[in-house]
Structure 1
Amino acid sequence: MLNWFRTGRVSAAGVLACGLLLVVQQVWFFAGWGGSEVSRLVTDAAYVPLAIVFTVLAARVARSKRQERRTRRAWRVITVAFICQLAAHCSWFAQEHLLHTTGYPSAADYFFLLFSPFMFAGLLMLPGRHRSRRQRQKLALDALIVGAGGFVVLWYLLLGPVFKTPGVTGWERAYTAALPIGDLLLVLAVSTALLRRHQADTPAPMRLLAAAITVTVVADVSYSWIQVHGGFTGGSWPDLLWLAGCFLLVLAADQQYRRPPRPGAWRGDRNAVSVLPYVAGAGAYLLLAERSSHLPLDPYGGMILGSAVLTLLVMARQLYALRENREMAVTDGLTGLANRTLITERLDQLARQPIRPGGHTAVMVVDLDGFKPINDTFGHEAGDAVLVATADALRAAVRGGDLAGRLGGDEFVVLMHGLPSRETAGAIADRLLEALRTPVIFGEHVLMVEASIGVLVRDEPDASGDTLLQQADAALYAAKRAGRGRFEYYSDLLDTRAREAELRRAVADDELVVYFQPAVELATGELRAVEALVRWNHPSRGLLGPDAFIELAEETGVVVPLGTWVLRTACREAAGWREAAGRPAATPDAADVRLSVNLSPKQVAQADLVRTVESILAETGFPPDRLTLEITESVILHPDPLTIGRLEALRDLGIELAVDDFGTGYSALSYLRNLPVTVLKIDRSFVTGIADDTEARAVCEAVVHLGEAFKMTVVAEGIETADQAAALIEMGCTIGQGFYFHRPLPPSEAGVLVRREYETRGQRHRT
């Protein structure tokens, strides 16, 4: 039962029942069914279940571990206030319909009076935004202004009449005055709580509590007014307000319990609550003007009118100053566009809006290409001129209601709403790019500027404002990588963090698979080695080659665990082939097929590389002298002593080292003499043109002769035709791999090929 209660089903049923009860009472009241006595009974009876529900729900909030500690502490005090309300309603029903007692003030009146100080304390205890001492002082002044305005109204309606009403005992007079004073405390507490949050999203529970207190205060004032001027009778119109206030308390407690334990971030936008002090001041003066209308113009009329007008003008001036300060706080000083503060606020607002069909929203991040050289060459004044010109171009592109802003430096943001299609955002980005290509005249110089733009068309309803900006930024960098001076749409493939997490899950969940591409003797086609090549068996995109994810793995560091996984898996597979062919690890044969595995530069930089390789070989049983580890040219171009030490340690284990894609970089030949490298692999880009490109043929011949000079084995990659193979044989290259001989094979097919080769060699050896 307790678990059922905690899930919210009971509270939802209670809220629904209270709503239905309120509707029934309202219908009963306005229909006038059963006469005044029955109407009083129905009305007074309706209070009790409402009070029980909001008290129980408040107690649940006060005990809930989902709420932060300060919130629970505040709601404990609010629960005491609700208990006073419950006791008051129960007492009122008992004295009116069971005991038939009269008297003013009654026991119920005292409980009603106790509600105010406890509610006052609970509201002030609710957590708000941290403020400086000056901000707290301003908040206190704003709340006191609201309280002073409320005091003027209460004095006119109640306190003044109470002190001059004849035939009222001192105790009755004191209670009648105490009730509006308690209401004044509630007005102060509510205004303080709301003003304290006007720079944040005022949560629904706070708004509901404020509405409940407002309705209750109006009802209390009406009750006291009626008591002073003739006596209150149950079932009259103030009960409608009290009941509505009770239902709002039910909703407030329920919403507070349902509120996320970590609400959204604070926002800095204005809120209508910030004008409360001005409304209170204006209301008080209007009331004063109405009450003083019968006074003679000389001297009171002119003085009162002048004071009211003077105060209202000061308020108007203050509101203007607030607006001016606000604009200064959210405007970029150089360009006049929105600054980062306003951009962040609008992005947060955008993230909370529902996605509507046919009304697309786009976030564009604009970054100037080549801005830094302009600053460095012509000075910051020239850079500022370019930024101002960029701002003018953005203003001309955006419509009313859209936003153009500067994030900082040479980076800008455009937020556009209500676009008819995704393609419209691209068309606007194209126009922006063209506009930004317009030369900027600075003195005698003509400054040429281009820009790159990342475009996000929002389609994720749960993405936060920060996420939207990050996604647009990812699209921007994709545009820069694609050549600059262009725009790119955001897609999931550009989300580096999400793709990194997905790739890490792929490694952990065995979504990767190792294929093997054979390398053969060019003259005979005899199998000499197999190279391990990783593939990603993506659950939705199918089998992906390394081009789809290796660059990401290198950028994010995932290549280290991925490379370790590939080495372990390849060694385990190859060891299984050897055992199936009757070649145990303990007796390796020089005729055994070699296994080649790539090492990334980040793997080579790992301090525990040698230990990792040793443990994998020990775990899988694969012989180290049949393993070739391939490194890239970048490793041999700038080798540090630690790197050289790791490579020599691998060599000492019996492992052969190869330089992959040789010829594509700027290899330092002197390092080839000092590093423990024994194999050079000619990059496929040179092999592709070897038959008809003299330069590619010259490079291949140079690498072959270089290998002969250093007593290294040379392997050609990417052989796809017989002419390419013949040309390589002619220049002295003996080993090659490519589609002409074998495509990369899945483990099962590669295993069949290797075992067949072992059987052939075994038969040749026996004969």
Structure 2
Amino acid sequence: MAENRVANRIADTAVGGTGVIVAAFLVFYLGAWGDTEQRQFVTNLVHIPIALMYTALGLRIVVRGGPTHHTRRAWGFITAAFFCRLVAQSSWFIEDSVLGTPRFPAVADYWYIAFVPFMFTGLMLMPSDRRSRIDRIKLTLDALIVVSGAFIVLWYLLLGPLVVKEGAPLSRTLFSTALPVGDLLLILALAMLLLRRSGIADHALTMLVVAVTMFVVADIAYGYLQLKTGYRGGAWPDLFWFCGGFLLVLAAHRTYQQTYHPPDPAKRRATVNWLPYGTIALAYGVLGYMAREQGIYPLGGMILGAILLTGLVIARQMYVLRENQDLAVTDPLTGLANRTRITERVAALVAQPARAGRCSAVLLIDLDRFKPINDTYGHEAGDTVLQAAAVALRAGIRSGDTAGRLGGDEFAVILRDLPDVAAVERVTQRLAEALRTPVILGDLVLSVEASIGVAIHDADSKVDGDQLVRQADLAMYTAKRSGRSRYQLYTPELDAGTRDARLRQAITDGELVLHYQPAVGLQTGEIRGVEALVRWQHPEEGLLMPGAFIALAEETGAVVPLGEWVLREGCRQVAAWQQGVAGADRITLSVNLSPQQVKQADLVDVVTGILAETGFPATRLILEITESVVLEPDELTIARLGALRDKGIRLAVDDFGTGYSALSYLQQLPVSILKIDRSYIRGIDDDERDERIAEAIVRLGLAFDLVVVAEGIETAEQARLLAEMGCTVGQGYHFHRPTPPEQTVQVLGATALKL
């Protein structure tokens, strides 16, 4: 590790030194110091350390390891090209500045030409994201367009004059054209590399491309000057070679340091690549320049006509490309943006920091009660509702905002550059009201509403696009759980991890409290037991009912420590009553046991440990399990529950009838109490059908030799009917509401009877 740090410092120093050399040469050149011979000598000499530096840094990538295997393989060929360039620069310095008798072709010329195939191969091997066969064909055609345009320019500047030059030997002509042809190959490689790049910034690759481009420009300028006036070292093309060489140094250094990030297809640039069309424009510009020397007839008009015709073809192709791009990012049913466009717009939103005092927002919208409409009235009705929702969303946003359909009945809206969160809420409320408008389909009037989740992006936001969408999604599901047809702003408390930590901290900090609801004998009205019901005394939100946090506890696993706290606190409290309240020694304590607690391997040890710790008698404890445990009990579950029963603890099936009510398992499980869900009690006093169903459930429980307890009794008539059916114990507001411990003590006046 220490050796790497030392090597990195040496490399940083060497790169900085190379920059100083280039800067010093620029001062020397722009200051017009020295005579022609001195300028030529200094120019030839300074090329050597720069070439030596980028060769050494390229070799470092190959030997010491680059970001990926593919990158190292590409840089192996690029480093070979660097070495050819180093040898060429050194040879040229000796031939031109030391010996002073350069011949054509010089030794350096062979090495300059050898630079091309190695660099071409290295550029072509540079890693890029995967593309389909059709994409690769289109990319190759675009690159060939670039090369064709470049060929026209090179033909005018170099190749044409070389070919028609009179008196030149064939071998000399072929060798003279080798470097321009090599430059065409490099242009092809650069075009392929630029066209296949994704939208992810790669600064090292950008510097490499710019450097090679500067070399190509310098080569073309060198050839042109050589044809016109002859070339001497220290002319302006050397500035391009020097700057290109320094960029090669930076590119090699940056490549070694950078970490590889695989390209993300979702972030690929969707815009049209203008490189082929720019090259066509350049080529026709050269043709137009040449046509000035021709008359209108015949070539001048033909060239102008060809330029106009090609321009119209390109314009039509651009229109088709734009149309295809719009189709690719548009939902065909609603005409809104699809998921791809929404993802792009969200990424663009978070990529640009919000202005101070301004904010943007992502809204996720889910239509409530859409599935029943689709299932009952068919897909035509469902499609009509979706199209109506799209119209409402379009009408409710500004032109600069984006509305889209993510799929099914889920929509998204991106609001940009609003003054504050209150403005976001006003727009959200307006959209929610617009989505409540009934939809008329023939004789049907279809009514839908929407749950909306809102995530705010402002100057303080530190999240990416995926996280922003996830925040809106969390807020949307929170709105749906809260009763639907409403909106919810995202807050950190909605995060499962944050809420879970907060709930666990509430257990530790003593913010949870128990309320107790007595159960009474239906024949005597005497209290037979109490059920412990948990509440959260939240410091900001007040007293929270279980519906506000139990689902979260079950989702995150916090229900296990929460359940243990309820059992311990309930046993401690009722044990104290049994010691100090007359007649309370025979009341029972009922505690709910979550499915996750039932699955705990140490359940029996935890329960018996709490009983021993609090001194509460096992025969007075009733553990209530849900039908999800009853439905598919495995052997280990049955064994654990059996072990609890063997210790004298009784087991009850809670909310019987709300699930699948797997009756066959009631014989396997060691349960002794059946609690009928309140939904079967609510209508027995005014609906004969509900009465018959309730009576059937009571008789079913009695047939299994179970004690039947009815929940949710709210009237005296309901209590009377249940007593006549054979139900022995009841709970509900008709008798007692859940109350805090100090109030529960006041109602424990009568002697409790054993259940």
TM > 0.5:
yes
Alpha-carbon displacement from aligned partner over 1:180-214 (angstroms, at most 9, x marks no partner): 1111111101111122235x436333332222222
Question: 5+ residue gaps in structure 2?
Answer: 520-528, 576-584, 656-674, 681-696
Instruction: Report the more deviating stretch, 669-678 or 170-179.
Output: 669-678
CA contact (8 A) 2:708 2:727 kept: no
CA distance in 1, matches of 2:389, 2:353: 32
Deviation at 1:157, TM superposition (A): 0.8
Alpha-carbon displacement from aligned partner over 1:210-261 (angstroms, at most 9, x marks no partner): 2222221111100111222233222211111112212222333334334432
Q: Give the equivalent residue in structure 1 for 2:86.
A: 86
TM-score scaled to structure 2, two decimals? Answer: 0.77
Q: Give the equivalent residue in structure 1 for 2:136.
A: 136
Q: Give the equivalent residue in structure 1 for 2:374.
A: 375
CA distance in 2, matches of 1:645, 1:367: 44
3-state DSSP of counterpart to 1:364 = strand
Q: 1:638 to 1:488 in 2, by over 3 A?
A: same
3-state DSSP of counterpart to 1:32 = coil
Q: Give the equivalent residue in structure 1 for 2:663.
A: none
Q: 1:734 to 1:51 in 2, by over 3 A?
A: farther
Deviation at 1:706, TM superposition (A): 6.2
Q: Does 1:435 align with 2:425?
A: no
Kindly provide the amino acid, as one letter, of the partner of residue 361 in structure 1. S
Alpha-carbon displacement from aligned partner over 1:252-291 (angstroms, at most 9, x marks no partner): 3334334432345123665667232222223223322322
3-state DSSP of counterpart to 2:266 = coil
Residue 749 (structure 2) aligned to one of 729, 734, 747: 729
Q: Does 1:182 align with 2:186?
A: no
Kindly provide the amino acid, as one letter, of the partner of residue 136 in structure 1. R
CA distance in 1, matches of 2:203, 2:270: 14
3-state DSSP of counterpart to 1:729 = coil
Deviation at 1:332, TM superposition (A): 1.3
> Which runs of structure 2 are paired with 1:89-128 in the superposition (5 Å)?
89-128=89-128
Q: Give the equivalent residue in structure 1 for 2:238.
A: 239
Question: 5+ residue gaps in structure 1?
Answer: 523-527, 578-590, 687-692, 736-767
Q: Give the equivalent residue in structure 1 for 2:481.
A: 481
Deviation at 1:36, TM superposition (A): 4.0
CA distance in 1, matches of 2:41, 2:545: 79
Q: 1:377 to 1:593 in 2, by over 3 A?
A: closer
Q: 1:516 to 1:274 in 2, by over 3 A?
A: closer
Kindly provide the amino acid, as one letter, of the partner of residue 626 in structure 2. S
Q: 1:557 to 1:34 in 2, by over 3 A?
A: same
CA distance in 1, matches of 2:19, 2:295: 52
CA distance in 2, matches of 1:215, 1:425: 50
Alpha-carbon displacement from aligned partner over 1:595-628 (angstroms, at most 9, x marks no partner): 9975312333x3xx5x533566899996999558
Q: Give the equivalent residue in structure 1 for 2:686.
A: none
CA contact (8 A) 1:143 1:191 kept: yes
Equivalent residues, number: 690
Identical residues among aligned pairs (%) = 41
CA contact (8 A) 2:53 2:249 kept: yes
3-state DSSP of counterpart to 1:188 = helix
3-state DSSP of counterpart to 1:126 = coil
CA contact (8 A) 1:629 1:658 kept: no
Deviation at 1:563, TM superposition (A): 6.8
Kindly provide the amino acid, as one letter, of the partner of residue 749 in structure 2. I
CA contact (8 A) 1:513 1:535 kept: no
CA distance in 2, matches of 1:300, 1:189: 33
Deviation at 1:362, TM superposition (A): 0.9
CA contact (8 A) 1:226 1:232 kept: yes
Q: Does 1:28 align with 2:28?
A: yes
CA contact (8 A) 1:358 1:419 kept: no
Residue 651 (structure 1) aligned to one of 636, 639, 645: 645
Q: 1:695 to 1:351 in 2, by over 3 A?
A: farther
CA contact (8 A) 1:559 1:600 kept: yes
Q: 1:45 to 1:496 in 2, by over 3 A?
A: farther
Q: Give the equivalent residue in structure 2 for 1:322.
A: 321
Q: 1:57 to 1:565 in 2, by over 3 A?
A: farther
Deviation at 1:464, TM superposition (A): 3.1
CA contact (8 A) 1:515 1:532 kept: no
Q: Does 1:599 align with 2:593?
A: yes
CA contact (8 A) 1:362 1:455 kept: yes
Q: 1:257 to 1:431 in 2, by over 3 A?
A: farther
Q: 1:734 to 1:102 in 2, by over 3 A?
A: farther
Alpha-carbon displacement from aligned partner over 1:464-522 (angstroms, at most 9, x marks no partner): 3222212111111111122222211112222236656x589x79xx9798989799999
Residue 603 (structure 2) aligned to one of 584, 607, 613: 613
Q: 1:255 to 1:457 in 2, by over 3 A?
A: farther
Q: Give the equivalent residue in structure 1 for 2:683.
A: none
Q: 1:61 to 1:435 in 2, by over 3 A?
A: farther
3-state DSSP of counterpart to 1:455 = strand
Instruction: Report the more deviating stretch, 142-151 or 435-444.
Output: 435-444
CA distance in 2, matches of 1:89, 1:570: 85
> Which runs of structure 2 are paired with 1:669-708 in the superposition (5 Å)?
none
CA distance in 2, matches of 1:24, 1:626: 93
Q: Does 1:70 align with 2:70?
A: yes
Q: Give the equivalent residue in structure 1 for 2:5.
A: 4
CA distance in 2, matches of 1:55, 1:674: 91
CA contact (8 A) 2:625 2:652 kept: no
Alpha-carbon displacement from aligned partner over 1:330-389 (angstroms, at most 9, x marks no partner): 111122211111112222233333344233221111222222233334433333233223
TM-score scaled to structure 1, two decimals? Answer: 0.76
CA contact (8 A) 2:365 2:451 kept: yes
> Which runs of structure 2 are paired with 1:194-343 in the superposition (5 Å)?
194-197=194-197, 200-201=199-200, 203-267=202-266, 270=269, 274-343=273-342
CA distance in 1, matches of 2:17, 2:741: 78
